[in-house]
Amino acid sequence: MNANVEGNVPGDVSGRQPKVAVYICHCGGNISDTVDVAAVAAAMAQYPGVAIAREYPFMCSSGGQDLILDDIAKLGVERVVVAACAPSLHELTFRGVLQRAGINPYLYEHVNIREQVSWVHKADHDGATAKAIRLVQAGVEKVLRQAPLSALHAPANRRVAVIGGGPAGLKAALCLAAKGHEAVIIEKAPWLGGKLRDLGKVFPTGAEASETLRKLEELVAAEKRITVHTRAEIDSISGFVGNFTITFNTPDGSSQVTAGAVIVATGFEHYRPHPGEFGYGQAAHVITLPELISLLKDSPPRRLEHHGKEIKSLAMIHCVGSRQVEGVHQPQADGKVNDYCSRVCCSAALYTINRLKDKYPHVRIYDIYRDIRSYGMQHEGYYERASKHGVLFFRHTETDQPIVESSERGHTVKVKDVLTWNEEMEMQVDLLVLVTGMMPSDTKRLTSQLKLSVGADRFLQEVHPKLRPVEMAIEGVFVAGAAQAPMDMTEAIAAGAAAAAKAAILLSEPEIPLKPFVAVVDESRCTGCGDCLAECSYQGTLVMAEVNGRTVAQVNPALCKGCGACVAVCPTRAINVAGWTLDQFEAMVEAIAKA
């Protein structure tokens, strides 16, 4: 596989200057309210090398795209610069426009004048306009030196490895099999199902979790295209899109699977309170919400018991292990607190409260919270129903945490209630339930070997929450379920189906097209010093090889991420990243500096 990288002579199009068109987007006021787009277009119309400069309200719209198509067809435009929003949103859109017009889609440059200009310089219209002009000029200089590129292609192994056998992983495997792909589930536990095994009834359907899991397991077992490995600890994972290799250990020894794509569905762990946190682990009858759910499954019909004691009253404290405050709460092992909201805990607590009141109507329940987030369809009904059941709700502020005092008689909970103008309330209860949040499962080995992005909350981070919600930054790797963020079972299953759809689309053809922005070595300049190999973070991307009696560096383009680290350390300028050459960088800097 090789990128088609041609010479970088400025404006070299059969010995003549290429026709460059520049388009400035208003972005519906997001840009034009701060940047004088007419002034930018006027300045670019006078810039050397620019044949056409226009402005338009929404360049990404069908009208904006048609404007480019018409200029290419009628005026002979050969290279395009669009100044608009972030390239992550619409770079592919405009590359597609050039492709439809019969022009190499990489003879295009996207300049971000929304996030990088208008949004950060709202109080300085003149300065923002001047900055926009400089950035667009740099974009023109870059596209003038841009060589036509061809997409790389990697052979596609149609098998998909699904790491994790919870609801998201099971759904992903079933969807892949339905689309004709082989799926391999790799699960570290002795069984499938993840946390679904620990639940009783699940919301919003009220179905028994065990029955839901049984149906999923039966479907998986009956599907010939699905292979399951349990008690499987991943040892290593390597390769690239279309050709990943996963090695894992099982009771029978070491096994290896090759796959064209990987779906990471490693799930979550319940937050475990620190010893002494609200009395947990030290005082009797202090449990977590998951422990209460298990208790409800096994408790007798007319009497709620915990360790032989009848429970006539209980209090729930929300946000234990979520929405923590640095300097107030004890951090995790990595020194960070869980400052995020776990989203599903409130609904889970309210749903469990209603189940408890249905089974034990005589039990008094107090619900203590900072905020309640019952965001799902019909989840607000859980709150309303709990109120009708006689549950008393107390709201506290971030700084006034509930105070728990434990004794042999039970627990005294004190809280300043916002709903009664900070009046201090006190309640005596037999059982204290901590509504704990969610934390991601340990994915350190996966993230380090695959170079996966992780958010500040330690969950795996997708490319874009709306435009590419289940795709990881590494081509061919997808994320599903609570490995990505706290979510309930229905959301996790939907995410599993979405990840499967994306993987199936990726592997639908015998070869996978890849972006051509990879390192390219000029072997005539390479001295074989090896500095580039030492700098590269992606194992196997760069190797030293003998060519015509000389030792030179060679690139595996399927593994290269185009980061440019090798370019920075090459003493002879023998390496460039296709589409981002040193000549282009220097011309862009010069354009910005001289403006």
pLDDT score, position 32: 97
**Tens-digit pLDDT profile for residues 552-573:** 999 988 888 899 999 999 999 9
- Entry pTM: 0.81
pLDDT score, position 595: 64
> In the structure encoding, which two tokens stand for residue 285, read together?
């009858």
pLDDT score, position 15: 64
- Residue 91, classified by CB atoms within 10 Å of its CB into exposed (0-12), middle (13-18) or buried (19+), is middle
**Tens-digit pLDDT profile for residues 465-492:** 888 899 998 889 999 999 999 999 899 9
**Tens-digit pLDDT profile for residues 197-241:** 888 778 777 788 888 899 999 999 999 999 999 999 999 998 889
Confidence class for position 392, pLDDT limits 50, 70, 90: very high
Domains of the chain by start residue, with CATH: 1-151 (3.40.50), 160-267+441-512 (3.50.50.60), 272-437 (3.50.50.60), 518-577 (3.30.70.20)
pLDDT of 140 strictly over 90? yes
DSSP, res 16: B
Average pLDDT of the chain is: 92
- 41-45, 109-113, 211-215, range with the lowest pLDDT: 211-215
DSSP, res 558: T
- 13-27, 346-360, 517-531, 533-547, range with the lowest pLDDT: 13-27
pLDDT of 95 strictly over 60? yes
Q: Which of 397, 293, 398 is nearest to 348 (CA)?
A: 293
What percent of the chain has a predicted confidence (pLDDT) above 90?
80
Under 8 Å CB-to-CB from 499, ≥6 apart: which residues? Answer: 168, 172, 263, 265, 470, 478, 479, 480
Confidence class for position 1, pLDDT limits 50, 70, 90: very low
pLDDT score, position 14: 55
pLDDT score, position 302: 86
